[in-house]
Amino acid sequence: MKKITLALALLTFSVQAQDFPLPYCEITDANEVFVEEITSVDFAGTSISNTNLGNVLIDETANVVNIAQDETYTIEVSGNTYGNFDNDIVAFIDWNQNNVLDDTGEIYEIGTLTNSTGSDGVSVSFAITVPTDAVLGTTRIRLTKTYQDVDSPAEINPCGIQFNPFGQGVFPGYGQALDFTLQIDTSLNIGEFDVSDLVVYPMPAKDVLNISYKSSINNIKIYNLLGQEVYSKNTNSDSLQLDLASLTVGSYIVKLFTEQVQHSFKIIKQ
């Protein structure tokens, strides 16, 4: 079943603060978008809940998430699809702080939500690595949630909740956008992780990967190069032996968590 009727009715929506979303773009034709809400976002240890059904673009910029260059963080998003429909989730991050959200390297297709109420435990997640040249300081991240189906693909546009029904052109669609703030600093950078005390072998790995560090490792996650989490384990040891037999041959990003710091490195699975 497809939603093929275009949004023609005007929606009642609240007026946001005059300076929001400046210096970033508004949502084009927001008064013609049918709001289908993003209900929750989790990123780098910060959780944001949303119940606003009136606004197309949600101002959560007061929520500041601290991240660091060259580190990898998982973003998880939930939302209401209003039935057995697909909603594409995309993140846009202004790493170079030029007030444009969709430069090369700033667009992340998080995944597709399907048949969810937004509060049923269904979510999509993606691992985002902060570029080593990301400008330090405060910047903006915007999430968009946009209805799509096989005949009506969603547009990837930080300035619109839009789709292209049956190839007839780009129109306002169904969904919502949400902005929050990132604070990029060096407090968790690799420089604080004592690499000289990290032992990882064998490299390349086959079925088993051994890891040891000078202090206890609390958690470990492994991601494929598409940013998908393929392994996660809570630990409390300075010496680990990971069973990688279920992973396919290829390259992966391993992320270690200790009480004080996080560290990521690449491995090859043979």
Mean pLDDT of all residues in the chain? 88
Contacts of 212 (CB under 8 A, 6+ apart): 198, 199, 238, 239, 240
What is the C-alpha end-to-end distance of the chain, expressed in Å? Answer: 43
Task: Kindly indicate the confidence band of residue 5, based on its pLDDT and cuts at 50, 70 and 90.
Answer: very low
Identify residue 124 by its one-letter amino acid code: V
Mean pLDDT of 211-225: 89
Domains and CATH numbers, the chain: 30-185 (2.60.40.10), 193-269 (2.60.40.3080)
> How many other C-beta atoms lie within 10 A of the C-beta of residue 248?
9
Task: Kindly indicate the confidence band of residue 234, based on its pLDDT and cuts at 50, 70 and 90.
Answer: confident
Task: Kindly indicate the confidence band of residue 187, based on its pLDDT and cuts at 50, 70 and 90.
Answer: low
* Structure tokens that stand for 232 in this block: 């996660």
pLDDT at 43: 92
pLDDT at 192: 62
Order of strands across the sheet that contains 72-79:
46-49, 38-43, 72-79, 124-129
Give the integer Cα–Cα distance in Å for 223 and 201.
Answer: 18
pTM (two decimals): 0.69
- 219 pLDDT higher than 80: yes
Task: Kindly indicate the confidence band of residue 36, based on its pLDDT and cuts at 50, 70 and 90.
Answer: very high
**φ, ψ dihedrals at 137, nearest 5°:** 115, -160
Contacts of 146 (CB under 8 A, 6+ apart): 87, 88, 90, 154, 155, 161, 162, 163, 173, 174, 175
Mean pLDDT of 143-165: 97
- 17 pLDDT higher than 50: no
pLDDT at 189: 46
The partner residues of 235 in beta bridges, in order of sequence, read none
